Structure formats: structure tokens, C-alpha cells
Amino acid sequence: MEYPSKLYYSISEVAEITGVKAHVLRYWESEFPTLSPKKTRAGARRYRQKDIQEIEAIKSLLYNQGFKIAGARKQRREARKAEADQPAPAAPQLAMGFDRMDNAERLAHVRRELQEVLGLIQALRLAAPAVAKPKAKKAEG
């Protein structure tokens, strides 16, 4: 999903971007405490990218994974809590300082990370199987 990058989006822009109709967005807002965009003084919603991600997450729970609203709400609540405990993992660390290592070290490093990542994927796939599979390109050259 690609969309223009800016600070705030109106409800109709978000509807366009996410494919969720505006009135449904308002409805979800009444059902999901995790979705609460800022509002202008006049009351108009101002969505940020964070909110759009939240919407995508909810959408997936409801339409891909087949949760009812109550179940999806619970999932999101817990996901938020988990996020709070454990801030963004792995990715930033990954690049850091990489080109300063010597080759053997790099290899070992990458390898460890890859193992870890595979474990993560395992867990995710078990828990959330309804996902488009990436083509496994064989690195068997």
C-alpha cells in the first residue's frame, strides 16, 4: 500500500487509502479505543500515519483473520500493550556498524540474526496464517 506522505489526512483520504468507507471509520472509532485520531477545533478528524496503520491492522483482523469486533478489539489492546513493553526490535540494530566488521564476524552476525528472524516468522505464521506468502527465492546459487 503506497500513499502520499504527509502529516495529516482527512477522513475521506483515509477512506481512499485504506479502502474502508468513511462511515465505517467513524463506526470503528466508536468500537476501538486504539483508534482515535486527533480532531480539529471544529471536530474534523485528522489522521496520522500511525492511525492508518492501526486501521490496516483492524481491517486485517476483521476481514482476513475473521475476528468479530470484540475479538479484534482485544487483539489490538494486547498488541498495544506488547508494543509499549518492547519497542521496535531488530531492524535499526541490523544496519548499525555493519560495514566496520571483518568478514567472518559479519557472517556470524548475519547468521545469528537470520536465525532469530526465522524463529520470529515461525511464530507469526503459526499465530496468523492468513498471509500472502513471499516467494522463497533459493539462495542456492
From 36, 38, 44, 78, residue interacting with DNA (rule: CB under 7 A): 44
Report the distance separating Cα 108 and Cα 98, nearest Å.
12
**What three-state secondary structure class fits 47?**
strand
From 8, 17, 22, 56, residue interacting with DNA (rule: CB under 7 A): 22
From 11, 52, 55, 57, residue interacting with DNA (rule: CB under 7 A): 11
**Sign of the CA dihedral running 2, 124, 58, 37:** negative
Q: Which 90-109 positions form the footprint of DNA (CB under 7 A)?
A: none
Question: Could you say whether residue 24 binds DNA (CB under 7 A)?
Answer: yes
Q: Which 118-137 positions form the footprint of a copy of itself (CB under 8 A)?
A: 118-134, 136-137
Identify which range of 8-16, 20-28, 41-49, 55-63 contacts a copy of itself by CB under 8 A.
55-63
Give the distance from CA 113 to its chain's centroid.
Answer: 21
* Nearby residues of 71 by Cβ (< 8 Å), 6 or more positions away: 61
Question: Could you say whether residue 84 binds a copy of itself (CB under 8 A)?
Answer: no
Report the distance separating Cα 9 and Cα 52, nearest Å.
9
Catalog residues that contact DNA under the rule CB under 7 A: 10-13, 21-24, 26-28, 31, 39-45, 62, 68-70
